[in-house]
Amino acid sequence: MITAAPAREQTRARYPDEEGFVERDGVRIFWERYGEGEPTILFPPTWELVHSRCWKMQIPYFARHGRVVTFDPPGNGRSDRPRDAAAYHRSQVAEYAVAVLDAAEVERAIVVSWCDMGDSLILAAEHPGRVSGLVFIAPSLPTREREVAEFPFDEELDTDEGWAKENRHYWLRDWPGYVEFFISQMFTEPHSTKQIEDCVGWGLETDAETLLVSFRGWDIKELDPETTVELCGRIRCPALVIHGTADELVEHERARAFASELGGVYVSLEGSGHGPHARDPVKINGLVREFTESIAPSQPKERRWTRAKSRRRRALYISSPIGLGHAQRDAAIADELRKLHPDLEIDWLAQHPVTAVLEARGERIHPASAYLASESSHVESESAEHDLHCFQAIRRMDEILLANFMVFDDLVREQQYDLWIGDEAWELDYYLHENPELKRAAYVWLTDFVGWLPMADGGDHEAFLTADYNAEMIEHIARFPRLRDRALFVGNREDVVPDSFGPELPQIRDWTEQHFDFAGYVTGFDPQALGDRGELGYSDEERVCIVTVGGSGVGGHLLRRVIESFPEAKERVPDLRMIVVAGPRIDPASLPQHEGLELRAYVHDLYRHLAACDLAVVQGGLTTSMELTANRRPFLYFPLRHHFEQNFHVRHRLGRYGAGRCMDFETDGPSEIAAAIAEEIGREVDYRPVERDGAARAAALIGELL
Amino acid sequence: MKALAVELTAPLREQTRARYPDESGYIERDGVRISYEVYGTGEPTVLLLPTWALFHSRHWKMQIPYLARHCRVVTFDGRGNGRSDRPHGAEPYAIREFALDALAVLDATATERAVVVGVSCATLWGVLLAAEHPERVAGAAFIGPAVPLAPPLPERTVYPFDELLDTDEGWAKYNIHHWRRDYRDFLDFFVGKCFTEPHSTKQIEDAIGWGLETTPEVLANHDAGIALPIGVDFGELCERVRCPVLVLHGDDDRIRPHAQGAALAEVTGGTLVTLEGAGHLPQARDPVKVNLLIREFVESLS
């Protein structure tokens, strides 16, 4: 598999509250601290092939429950890359840990290590006052003589197949080749592309020359068996050893023998590889939390449990913040649900911008919502000029999704709900299928598209990735069909794209028909409540064109392009009145101005204006384009480049309704836009009608579970 | 509820247990024999205390089989019911006597230290034990504690216990003359108040059955014994408890107000778990939740 290191670090779910360097024997070590209070967890580095980002799935969770300290190893991340082997010695790394604890003003910490080769063991044995507990994930600590490596590290070999890659000469010849091989051995679980990609990326932040300073084979890199056994005998604090049965790098027996030597609790993860904290982060976070709780209980002094019969009927609604459309349709469905079940209390676990819509309606937003990491800021940070690689943006959101799932899981452990509703709540659906024992309520999944689809210019690799994601989802549903008590497609059968999930995978439409109920489209507003033109300030002597990119900050380039077309469009359509709505994320003053053009930051009840206009120019998002379709307005839409949902799923649906004119940001300049405006404005449309009872149909299907 | 409870009769013989004791025996103190049972082996030991003589150790039947799978469980019948003696007079039923029985049972079963768990007025001797013998008590959990740390329910202060009354409505049934006249009617009433949760017929039936295994005279003696001074203010005693404390209290407890449990948690620095919708004896009515909470507490101590 070919993977590439990402050009820049993806958005974190949480950023450090403090960071700095410690210096020891001339080596600068970079450290970070997150959160406050106790317990404190130190996540030390492992082999310098990776750096402290390898703890990205743990940091946000534990920083919510105490204090977290991490540091980069010498040789990677933001630490120095010393050329002296002593700087990498196990006991030296233990001393870096002490220096970091001092700098972060941490007296005692629970040390959670990955593939410890001795640093944590030395730290706890030499500085027992600084360590209150030890967790070893996949420790690589031999308690008896290890087998000699198949291929000598220093000799020139006549092969570079398999483990022959672990060789000085191959490293210098093809470092990325070695990193990819080694990391592929680390994650033996299927569907680990993102974890592999991350680790390879970190491995490419350092190089063969740096690792060669201290590496001449594992027998030299790791502690020897005698020292390991001697150190184990000196450990007095509680210890936990976690190891996967499918770990290809550290034999199961070695980890078990180490645990037994240490006298710690041993947890075997069946089917897990060498990096379970990255591949099964929910389980690892739970195990580590249980361990920290046993050392430093944090249970509140007052708790509450309600007898089943005394419980009020409650639902928790998790509404995706990517695109504002979800908020409106979810609110409409909630209204219909309350009609069916007047005693139903609905709490929302949601974030900006969804919360803005919900607050305005007086909905109950659960206070835990404050802990959610922002998904919309991440998506915005991933976008370029009228360009959002939606699939990659969601992949690169894994840390945020996991952090938000942990918020959800904490919440539902404490509070009882009858029903969870997740509208494109990816974190909920994915991690529930990965940890099916965590399901505690009836669960409804809603989406308006099914199937990750590759963009043509992503080539084979992107096609491989989308097929892998689809395959994992299909396997999830096949293996745990009971998890989704109901899966609702917001739309109709024919709205599902006539494509395949990938090679040797089912057709998306067939599969969706088998696994979903169809609610019809949910507009989220009552067409009867729409005003007329006069009320909105538009006369019959003018033709109104509204240009909007919704609440997105990605739309500045499209607005500029359309503004550029205004003079020519006005020439062609003399009674044209063009109103450009910048939206909350774009400063209208940053946009060019033309005489006669109206620039507005915000338009109250924009959907009413869109319902009354003669033409709209929009992006390719589903909500706005379907609103225009329902209200039978002509419109031009520009799908964001590399946005598979807008380019395939939405476009297919609009095609079915015969609605809108698809434009191409790549090729359509101001003249083409002006010509399209002239042709489309005020045109009588013959769209397929959009149903108005989608919310009620969805609510009826959901309400059966209550 | 009353009409329903009256229909219930005490069973002729004890129903089949899910688990029988691995060891049982008697201790004797001042001529009073106390029956104890031991279930399971290993560490830690959980000592399930007796409560008011209205019930005996079978009131722990929903806890014993579960806890005995995870630790060692010791129970004993309090003086006045079950297979223990029913001495005469108030003195044998003093709070301290129950604490001393507990110590003697711990000794007899070679239990150095135990987690003690008690329901209702078992809290009185449980606290005494924990405060005066801290080396024997690793932790203490109290369910629906009956403690003089907050006022009793107002309806329970209306009628005197010893006087002849011209009514036997409601809490007027908590009266020695009514007990002698119609003990069964009192049991129906009192046990009905213990289980405020709907659909509690089996729990009510069990409790009435245990109540019929003793007599109004024993209960009156027990009440009088509890009222005897212990030589120290109960609140001060609570403050001397150093072990971890867990308090479970239903917010629909019609025997002992939730405020008493809250006050006990406060003064002992313990954790309060409020059971919403639960009555006075959640160990019988919500055994799953109570078992899990006890186990979690026991685990947190080791």
Q: Residue type for A204, please? A: L
Residue of chain A whose alpha carbon sits nearest to that of B293 = A305
**Testing the interface with B: which of A307, A311, A314, A415 to mutate, by most B Cβ within 10 A?**
A307
The share of chain B scoring above pLDDT 70, in percent, equals 96
Q: Within an 8 Å CB–CB cutoff, is residue A294 touching chain B?
A: yes
What pLDDT score does B17 carry?
97
Give the pLDDT mean for B117-130: 98
pLDDT at A318 exceeding the cut of 60: yes
With an 8 Å Cβ cutoff, the interface of chain B facing chain A consists of 197-198, 265, 270-278, 286, 289, 299-300
**Range with the poorest average pLDDT among A322-331, A363-372, A517-526:** A322-331
pLDDT at B8 exceeding the cut of 60: no
Cβ distance of B300 and A305 shorter than 8 Å: no
Cβ distance of B286 and A304 shorter than 8 Å: no
Q: Residue type for B70, please? A: H
Report the gap between the CA of B192 and the closest CA in chain A (Å). Answer: 18
CB pairs under 8 A between A and B: 42
pLDDT at A5 exceeding the cut of 60: no
Cβ distance of B276 and A303 shorter than 8 Å: no
Cβ distance of B271 and A301 shorter than 8 Å: yes
Which of A297, A299, A305 faces B289 most closely, judged by CB atoms?
A: A305
pLDDT at A1 exceeding the cut of 70: no
pLDDT at A697 exceeding the cut of 50: yes
Q: Within an 8 Å CB–CB cutoff, is residue A306 touching chain B?
A: yes
Which residues of chain A does B141 touch, with a Cβ-Cβ cutoff of 8 Å? none
What pLDDT score does B223 carry?
98
**Range with the poorest average pLDDT among A188-202, A553-567, B66-80:** A553-567
Which residues of chain A does B289 touch, with a Cβ-Cβ cutoff of 8 Å? 305
Cβ distance of A302 and B277 shorter than 8 Å: no
Which residues of chain A does B286 touch, with a Cβ-Cβ cutoff of 8 Å? 307
Q: Tell me the C-alpha distance between A578 and A424, whole Å.
A: 34
A157-195: pLDDT as tens digits: 999 999 999 999 999 999 999 999 999 999 999 999 999
Which of B197, B272, B300 faces A307 most closely, judged by CB atoms?
A: B197
B217-245: pLDDT as tens digits: 999 999 999 999 999 999 999 999 999 99
What pLDDT score does B3 carry?
45
Q: Please classify residue B153 by burial: count the beta carbons closer than 10 Å to its beta carbon, then call 0-12 exposed, 13-18 middle and 19+ buried.
A: middle
What pLDDT score does B54 carry?
98
Residue for token pair 């209390």: A345
Which of A300, A301, A310 faces B276 most closely, judged by CB atoms?
A: A310
Which of B197, B273, B286 faces A303 most closely, judged by CB atoms?
A: B273
SS3 B69: helix
Which of B198, B271, B274 faces A309 most closely, judged by CB atoms?
A: B198
The share of chain A scoring above pLDDT 70, in percent, equals 98
The share of chain B scoring above pLDDT 90, in percent, equals 95
What pLDDT score does B5 carry?
46
**Testing the interface with A: which of B197, B271, B281 to mutate, by most A Cβ within 10 A?**
B271
Cβ distance of A309 and B275 shorter than 8 Å: no
Residue of chain B whose alpha carbon sits nearest to that of A306 = B276
Tokens describing residue B175:
């009266």
What pLDDT score does A323 carry?
65
Report the gap between the CA of A300 and the closest CA in chain B (Å). Answer: 7
pLDDT at A475 exceeding the cut of 60: yes
The share of chain A scoring above pLDDT 90, in percent, equals 87
pLDDT at B30 exceeding the cut of 50: yes
Give the pLDDT mean for A615-631: 95
Q: Within an 8 Å CB–CB cutoff, is residue A671 touching chain B?
A: no
DSSP state letters, A492-556: -GGGS-S-BSSTTS-BHHHHHHHH-EE-----SS-GGG---HHHHT--TTSEEEEEE-TT-STTH
Give the pLDDT mean for A83-107: 97
Which residues of chain B does A294 touch, with a Cβ-Cβ cutoff of 8 Å? 299-300
Cβ distance of B271 and A299 shorter than 8 Å: yes
A200-250: pLDDT as tens digits: 999 999 999 999 999 999 988 889 999 999 999 999 999 999 999 999 999
Q: Tell me the C-alpha distance between B15 and A134, whole Å.
A: 49
Q: Tell me the C-alpha distance between A395 and A400, whole Å.
A: 10
Q: In what order do the strands lie in the sheet with A314-319?
A: A364-365, A345-349, A314-319, A419-423, A442-447, A486-489, A517-518
pLDDT at B23 exceeding the cut of 60: yes
pLDDT at B74 exceeding the cut of 80: yes
Q: Tell me the C-alpha distance between A586 and A619, whole Å.
A: 15
Place B12 in a pLDDT band, splitting at 50, 70 and 90. Answer: low
Cβ distance of B197 and A305 shorter than 8 Å: no
pTM: 0.92
A259-272: pLDDT as tens digits: 999 999 999 999 99
**Testing the interface with B: which of A298, A299, A301, A305 to mutate, by most B Cβ within 10 A?**
A305
Instruction: Report H helices in A207-313.
Output: 208-212, 218-221, 225-232, 252-262, 276-279, 281-295
Place B47 in a pLDDT band, splitting at 50, 70 and 90. Answer: very high
A377-433: pLDDT as tens digits: 898 889 889 999 999 999 999 999 999 999 999 999 999 999 999 999 999 999 999
What pLDDT score does A528 carry?
64
pLDDT at B10 exceeding the cut of 60: no
Q: Tell me the C-alpha distance between A214 and A223, whole Å.
A: 13
pLDDT at A564 exceeding the cut of 50: yes
Question: Taking Cα atoms as reference points, which of A132, A573, A193, A642 lies closest to residue A389?
Answer: A642
CB count in 10 Å sphere of residue A312 = 10
Greater confidence (A95 vs A298) lies with: A95
What pLDDT score does A554 carry?
80
Which residues of chain A does B281 touch, with a Cβ-Cβ cutoff of 8 Å? none
Name A617's Cβ contacts closer than 8 Å, sequence gap at least 6.
A545, A546, A547, A548, A558, A562, A635, A636, A637, A638, A673, A677
What pLDDT score does B6 carry?
43
What pLDDT score does B2 carry?
45
Q: Residue type for B168, please? A: D
Residues 170-229 of A with CB under 8 A from B: none
What pLDDT score does B11 carry?
56
Place B1 in a pLDDT band, splitting at 50, 70 and 90. Answer: very low
What pLDDT score does B160 carry?
97
Q: Within an 8 Å CB–CB cutoff, is residue A298 touching chain B?
A: no
What pLDDT score does A378 carry?
92
What pLDDT score does A7 carry?
62
Q: Residue type for B112, please? A: E
Place A585 in a pLDDT band, splitting at 50, 70 and 90. Answer: confident
Report the gap between the CA of B300 and the closest CA in chain A (Å). Answer: 6
**Testing the interface with A: which of B195, B248, B275 to mutate, by most A Cβ within 10 A?**
B275
Cβ distance of B278 and A307 shorter than 8 Å: yes
Give the pLDDT mean for B168-192: 98
Q: Tell me the C-alpha distance between A666 and A639, whole Å.
A: 10
Residue of chain A whose alpha carbon sits nearest to that of B273 = A303
